[in-house]
Structure 1
Amino acid sequence: MGALGFTKARSMGPVAEAVARAGGSVARVFRKAELPLRLIDEPEQLILLRDQLALVEHAARELDDEALPLRLSMQAGMEGLGLFGLRVKKAPTLFDAIERCNCGMESMLQSMTHMSLTRCGARLAAWTYEVCDDVPVGRQKNELLAFGYMVEALKRFGAGAPLRATLPQKPPARAALEDILGCEVVAGEKAALIFSAELLRNQNPTGADPIDRRVDDLPAPDDFSASVEHLIRLALLERRPTIDYVRRRLALSARSLQRRLSSEGESFEAIRRRVLLAKARTLLAARDAPITRIAYELGYSDAAHFSRAFSAWTGESPRAWRRGALGAVREM
């Protein structure tokens, strides 16, 4: 198994809202993608890039709308990309905005993808987007999703619509895509937007922050332990995380998964315990969260089972830990 690509849930755009508005079944789309519905309310949650691709693909099929990914990202705009989008919006020039996209994408928003800016002769520039993950489903849908955000960035800096767009594979809804993008769509080696290179000098019309305060918070594609940790957090949105769930997401046997973790000095149980403990402490710090509800949130059948586990982890009961935590807050 090679490197793993992750993306923040917010990168898929308002997919649930779009499916519901068009009369489709949001539950069915998420079920087919094997993703929890609660992901809708967790935009910062990391999911496998291939799962995001599958979700958008199933949503497009649900609505019979091949152009849906493009509509989603153009509806969300750069604002929909959170901190990453804010960095891009605050760039001094269009050139700087594209550079912030290209340099920050793999560490702040979505790994196993690559963006670059190249010159096409003396007068044109090509902004390209590539999926480096070996995904079986949804590659072109992801390219279209990226196009929407890229076009919105161009427009924000007064560049207008691109002159043309290229896709490695012929799209099934070319006319619809051209209507939305405002330019022709043709075959090309990579997914790219072509525009006048002069526009790269365009200044930010709404005020700029010349300092790129980048924050790296995505796991490196080869950090297997961190990848397993994020999948455990994902599973926690709807069930108690199990090794079977994680190994299926990674297309590995349980033995292979444990062997990979062992090579990094980790184990599945140790990672799961850290995730559950961190979540438990967060929930306990909320004064109005009943212990029974916290136990359910963490996948325990009742409060007693959770209390025994928490005591084994920390040496004190959940209620005692909460009293100490809330008391420390009051003293600050």
Structure 2
Amino acid sequence: MGPIAEAVSAAGGSLTRVFGRAEIPLTLLDTPDRLILLRDQLRLVNAAIREIGDPSLPARLSTGIGIAGLGPIGVQVRTAETLGSALARVEIVTPLLLQTATWTGLRRKGANAFYGYTVLERIESGRQANEILALGYLLGTVRHFLGPTWRPDHAVVTGATMSGRGEIQEQFGSEIAFGSRAGLIFPAFHLDTPNPNRDDPDRLATAEDEPIGDDLAACVAHLIELDLDEARPSIDGVARRLGLSRRTLQRRLDDLGTRYSDIRDRIMAQRAKTLLTGETLSIARIACELGYADTSHFTRAFLEWTGTTPSRWRRDVCVGRQTKVS
């Protein structure tokens, strides 16, 4: 989100308008590592394109950032022995690490390799912009092995037309064709290229069997955190963002041995403790920030969560700090 915000600001656009159109709280910029849904990402990119009138924005963002923007997936790439093994790793870990309905992987077609990307989730708009964004990251992955000036034979996106095609082709350094699946096409012999700057595999930061947020409860928790930036979260709002009915969401959480209210209370308690630790906001203001009509309702809820009152919890934290200092 940071690079998107920088691009919008540099072009003289309004971040408030962009995030408003995407239905994402602007305060999310204060916590850029927080998980957001794929459809939210698409809306944000589309809103930014609309705001500054630049359809090549996704290509510029992803090619400029490279594999540094891939986080733990980039770690997998940097520790692979060859380009082929790196792309095989990406195919395995992407759905685990991102927890989005996407596929990224390698397919051989005769003497050529097709490094592809597909959005599996049904989305109404923004698919092509998301594909262009993804192609820049795919390009950065291959260039880690073949050098910063390497160009694919051509790139592919879905659809029949594309705004800003010339600028995007210039950004990627290759022609762009239309097909059923987005990706890069290049000679398959490149897959045997060794990693020129391989990181120590023993320092691998994220193992393939350690997914990030790989269950529905984790996604619900992240969405509740997002809603807290604007108003008190509701199960109907979370279900809508997940594309589920309220009843279906409740049933699936019940299958996991938890409830929406349990997850909400845990997140609310964490946010309340964070605000109370800051010492700058009054308890009345914190109650308002968390969506409570008055302090007494917040106090009763906090007592139920923690077994103590907000004021007592804040005093205990202050005493603990003073003890450490002395």
Fold conserved between structures, TM > 0.5 = yes
1:121 offset after TM fit, Å? 1.1
CA distance in structure 2 between the partners assigned to 1:85 and 1:237 by the alignment: 30
CA distance in structure 2 between the partners assigned to 1:72 and 1:174 by the alignment: 16
> Hey, what does 2:154 align to over in structure 1?
164
> Hey, what does 1:61 align to over in structure 2?
50
Q: 1:184 aligns with which of 167, 171, 175?
A: 175
Q: Which amino acid aligns with 1:69?
A: P
Q: Which amino acid aligns with 1:216?
A: P
> Hey, what does 1:129 align to over in structure 2?
117
Moved more, 321-330 or 140-149: 321-330
| Paired residues for 1:206-221 under 5 Å | 206-210=197-201, 212=204, 213-214=206-207, 215-220=210-215
Residues 1:142 and 1:279: Cα distance change in structure 2 (over 3 Å):
same
> Hey, what does 2:131 align to over in structure 1?
143
Residues 1:330 and 1:38: Cα distance change in structure 2 (over 3 Å):
same
Moved more, 254-263 or 89-98: 254-263
> Hey, what does 1:4 align to over in structure 2?
none
CA distance in structure 2 between the partners assigned to 1:182 and 1:173 by the alignment: 14
Give CA-to-partner distance per residue, 1:261-320, whole Å, 9 cap, x none.
455554332221111113333444x46554536445433455554333211222112343
Q: 1:321 aligns with which of 300, 313, 325?
A: 313
> Hey, what does 1:25 align to over in structure 2?
14
Q: Does 1:310 align with 2:305?
A: no
Q: Does 1:174 align with 2:165?
A: yes
| Paired residues for 1:2-151 under 5 Å | 14-122=3-111, 124-151=112-139
CA distance in structure 2 between the partners assigned to 1:279 and 1:268 by the alignment: 16
CA distance in structure 2 between the partners assigned to 1:200 and 1:257 by the alignment: 43
SS at match of 1:137: coil
Query: Normalized against structure 1, the TM-score is what?
Result: 0.83
CA distance in structure 1 between the partners assigned to 2:172 and 2:69 by the alignment: 19
| Alignment size in residue pairs | 315
Q: Which amino acid aligns with 1:274?
A: R
Q: Which amino acid aligns with 1:24?
A: G
CA distance in structure 2 between the partners assigned to 1:113 and 1:256 by the alignment: 22
Gaps of 5+ in 2: none
Q: Which amino acid aligns with 1:174?
A: R
1:245 offset after TM fit, Å? 2.6
Q: Which amino acid aligns with 2:34?
A: Q
| Paired residues for 1:293-308 under 5 Å | 294-301=286-293, 303-308=295-300
Tell me if structure 2 keeps the 8 A contact 1:129–1:146.
Answer: yes
CA distance in structure 2 between the partners assigned to 1:82 and 1:106 by the alignment: 14
Runs of 4+ in 1 over 6 A off after TM superposition: none
Q: 1:268 aligns with which of 245, 251, 260?
A: 260
Give CA-to-partner distance per residue, 1:224-251, whole Å, 9 cap, x none.
x443322111111222212343243245
Gaps of 5+ in 1: 1-9
CA distance in structure 1 between the partners assigned to 2:36 and 2:248 by the alignment: 21
Q: Which amino acid aligns with 1:192?
A: G
> Hey, what does 1:228 align to over in structure 2?
220
Tell me if structure 1 keeps the 8 A contact 2:117–2:134.
Answer: yes
Give CA-to-partner distance per residue, 1:156-194, whole Å, 9 cap, x none.
222512111112213232222211100111122210101
CA distance in structure 2 between the partners assigned to 1:151 and 1:289 by the alignment: 46
> Hey, what does 1:240 align to over in structure 2?
232
Tell me if structure 1 keeps the 8 A contact 2:58–2:132.
Answer: yes
Query: Identity rate of aligned residues, in percent?
Result: 44
